[in-house]
Amino acid sequence: MLTDCRENVHAAGGTIGPCLLLCALGALAMSFGWGFRGDYGHESGAMVPGALFAMGVCLATGREAWFRRCAVLGACGAIGWAFGGQMSYGQITSYTVSHSFPDVAYGYASLFTIGMLWGGIGAGLLSFGLTWSRRDLARFIGPLVALGCAYVLLMAVLGSSSGFASLLEQFSVNRMHDTDWIQATLALVVALVYGLCRPAERRACVWIAGLALGWWVGYWLLVRGLGLRMSPTILGKVRSDNWAGCVGLWAALLLGLWWAKNRAGFLLSCYGALAGGYGFSVGDFINKPDKVQWAPFYSHPWLQGFDHWKWTEQSFGLIMGFGVALGLLRLLRGNLRVELDDGPYAAWLNDFCAVVLLGLVPFLNFGQNIKSAGDAAWILFGLSSAGWLCATALAIFALMGVALYKHRHRTLPMAMAPPSAKAQALFFLLMYASVLAATAKGWGNLGNRGGFFLYGSFWVSVLAATALVLVARPAIRWTGSPPRDSSDVYWRLGWWHGLGWVLVVPIVVLLTVATLAMHENPMPGSSLRFGSKASHLQETGIPGGK
């Protein structure tokens, strides 16, 4: 892959620099984003690395068409990587510190699966921003807004009836394996109803309904039908089996891309799956010398006292970001056609995506800083902390509306800036707002060496990414390649990609052997997945229990 890249760049009279810039910027942006996600968690936290990665690689291309889609790509990346936030992998890591080869290998294989789904779905939905016209992408605005409103209304109704909400939560945990079945059902219903009422948005509704239906098929087939539990209940702690729904969702996504002959999107999704799988499995291994207190590592006092799990999280993003960037390089090398459809639909889409990136994403995440600061139940001038948060958010959204209105009417000075400048501003605003929020949330830990080093590493990644953007001079231009549509057969997966999948099993075995070589006995917090002493059997007492 990189060999082909080098040959084409030199043929154009340039250097390998643009390729390395794109991969480095994508890796750094997602690495910091994943460290941020570790502090904020779940789907909302995962929106930040997806958005930062997408906008970072956009800036590294040096291409006008990509600059004009920076907000669109950021929103697609945020939504795409948010899907993986529903999966649980905390218990999976406990298998990788056990003393049994099958259990450790199972842990690494499961981590690979989770990362594969996360990266595959994220990169697949990111490809929409590159391969769809903005006219078609704008048709998702109505269904997504309707879905968001329906979800808020549903949560409000459930919140007004604590008894019913408690029963529903118990049902979800005990009977539905703590999955996001309510969200999947709501998406399916809203998409079907909206599609019937609004024929113009029907194609977008079909995609939303198809992904939701795929989620249900995956969950029902793997968990209900085959009884597969990636993280069985241990000591009464029920771990979510959303991974099964994500299997079905990713399968539906790939099927839809194949059916639409979107070979470029299919290719990028496969690159993302491979990168995410390696990112999660290898990233977890990086934490093992500290986790098992391996003597050659732990004998150095300067390596003790750090939050090495944060290294793991940032390694997740670093490896995944680098791998997905390689897929985007493949699209650049083949000169993927990106339309400059600057009509009224493009304006509406850009406005919507800007609100998502600078309004919705911060609102869903930064409010957690209030809870982490201590007692969040204070009242000021008759308004609770949650009320002040919502009031502040409304004020921000209102000001964004004014700015977008002035931007639309060309009365806002920044509206006169070139697309590259506006893309940089959007990237910097979200990245620096996120790192400041994360630092503020962990302010109390800055007094110890581990906390200072952790948040210092956030700033190092952010400053390095900033430097790359500021000194960037590339426009990656390949010779001899006419613009290609997303349906072109050129976008077939090459043998390098196939080799990556072939090496999955040897790499998992290698990680397992290397982990077992660091310790002989099970470590504190370890779990067993197989055998008569499996951790989940100690509670259920049922051989082969689930």
What's the rounded Cα separation, in Å, for the pair 426 and 70?
8
Tens of pLDDT along 201-237? 999 999 999 999 999 999 999 999 998 888 887 666 7
Exposure of 427 by Cβ count < 10 A (0-12 exposed, 13-18 middle, 19+ buried)? buried
Per the CB < 8 A criterion, the answer to whether 318 and 27 are in contact is yes
> Residue 471: CB partners within 8 Å, gap ≥ 6?
none
Give strand pairing partners of 314.
none
pLDDT at residue number 342: 65
Q: Which residues pair with 383 in a beta bridge?
A: 380
pLDDT under 70: residue ranges of the chain: 1-17, 160-163, 234-236, 292, 295-308, 341-342, 371-378, 380-382, 385-386, 444-447, 449-452, 472-480, 534, 536-546
Does an H or E element contain 226, and which? none
Residue written as tokens 């109505």? 142
Nearest to 307 by CA among 108, 455, 527: 455
DSSP 425-493: HHHHHHHHHHHHHHHHHTGGGTTSHHHHHHHHHHHHHHHHHHHHHHH-------SS---B-TT-GGG--
pLDDT of res. 365: 85
Return the HEC string of 346-376.
HHHHHHHHHHHHHHHHHHHHHCHHHHHCCCC
Q: Which two tokens stand for residue 390?
A: 């919502």
Sequence-ordered list of residues with C-beta below 8 angstroms from that of 105, at least 6 positions apart, any chain: 508, 509, 512
Predicted confidence at residue 302, as pLDDT, reads: 60
User: Under a CB-based contact definition with an 8 Å cutoff, are residues 329 and 63 in contact?
Assistant: no
pLDDT tens, position by position, 141-185: 999 999 999 998 888 887 766 667 777 777 777 777 788 899 999
Which pLDDT does position 157 carry in this prediction?
80
Both tokens assigned to 19: 């390729």
Residue 350 neighbours by CB distance under 10 Å? 23
- The confidence score (pLDDT) of residue 539 equals 53
Q: What is the pLDDT of residue 546?
A: 36
Specify the pLDDT at position 207.
96
pLDDT for res 295: 65
* pLDDT of amino acid 337: 86
Cα dihedral 417, 420, 422, 426, rounded to 10, equals -170
Rounded Cα distance between 515 and 257, Å, is 38
pLDDT value at residue 5:
43
The CA-CA-CA angle for residues 102, 534, 228, to 5°, reads 75
pTM above 0.85, yes or no: yes
Strand, coil or helix: 231: coil
